[in-house]
Amino acid sequence: MSNDAQVLEVRDSLFAMIGRISRSGSGSGSENPNQVGLKQRIVVDRLCMCVALVALNTVSSCWMNSVADIIKFGSDTPHNCYLALLILKAICQEAESQHFSNKQKSCIEINLRENLEQVLAFVCLILQTRSQRQLPLESYLEALTAAKSWCRFSTKTFVPNQDFIHVIFSMMENDQETFGKAISVVKKLLVESKFNKALEYNSESTAFSLIPEVDKQFLQAVVLYCINKRDVLVAETQKPFDETKDEELPFARKFTSLLTVLCSDYELLLIRETNESN
């Protein structure tokens, strides 16, 4: 048996173990792998990490279409969907944490950038079922977490997938259970973008000309969201506050963190140049 065949056999064994362990302890046929016990969840997470490492180490050899295969696996059942999201998240985490050669790092980054749009398209399909509550809440939260990890590779645009961005803003606006994770995705896009330091080497007018229209519209949408939610922020901050509770004022915490990123990196891009501002 060739080395490549052995690697693929190990990969298949890992998938089989993940499926078996994630179902044991959550009830026969359960569609929510997150309901397994703590020890089993740790094992599932580690196995997903192992699959991610196989994918990363074979991007230029025997498993070049790993991301497409993982998405296909996740499209079979709600149970597999959750597991695929764990693996996709682990791929980004391990790409950052593992020590690869410079050649491997280059191949991995190219591969992940090339697969970003299809990952976000997969996540988008999941999130679009949120209004019907077709999946457990944990699956939607994991989808947002995985998307945030992958948005690290969206440095050239704020809008790597138009439908995905539309769903993210909808969740920020209307979903109390997922808005925090959705805001984290937008923050990640703002932080990773090449436009976040556009004024360091350019005048304001030049910086604006460098930003494509679709990305300007994204920034405008973030600003409008902050404006429209100002009264919600004020109302929440007027509630009694208990500093011993980490989850106090969840909207205020998330809103102000988004506003901080927006103002620290994009403030001058959002202020119209006038004689007074000069």
Q: Is the pLDDT of residue 30 over 60?
A: no
In sequence order, which ranges of the chain are alpha helices (DSSP H)?
A: 3-23, 38-57, 66-74, 78-97, 102-127, 137-150, 162-174, 179-192, 204-210, 213-228, 230-237, 250-266
User: Structure pTM?
Assistant: 0.88
Comparing CA positions, the residue from 137, 139, 50 lying closest to residue 87 is 50
* Same domain (yes/no): 135, 3: yes
Residues 86 and 110 in one domain: yes
Q: Do residue 118 and residue 60 come from a single domain?
A: yes
Indicate if 111 and 126 belong to the same structural domain: yes
Q: Are residues 141 and 225 in the same domain?
A: no
Q: Dump pLDDT digits (tens) for 34-47.
A: 656 778 889 999 99
153, 187, 212 — which closes off a domain?
A: 153
Domain co-membership, 125 together with 146:
yes
What is the number of domains present in the chain? 2
123 and 12 both lie in a single domain:
yes
Whether residue 242 sits in one domain with residue 148 = no
| Residue 69 shares a structural domain with residue 149 | yes
For the stretch 107-144, pLDDT in tens is 999 999 999 999 999 999 999 999 999 999 999 999 99
| Position with higher pLDDT, 275 vs 152 | 152
Q: Over range 24-42, report the average pLDDT.
A: 65
Do 2 and 133 lie in a common domain? Answer: yes
pLDDT for the residue 268: 67
Residue span of the structural domain in which 57 resides: 1-153
186 and 84 inside one domain? no
Q: How far apart are CA 98 and CA 109, in angstroms?
A: 13
Q: Which of 111, 138, 153 is the last residue of a domain?
A: 153
In the listed set 127, 153, 179, which residue is the last one of a domain according to the structure? 153
Q: Which residue in the block uniquely carries the two structure tokens 């902050």? A: 226
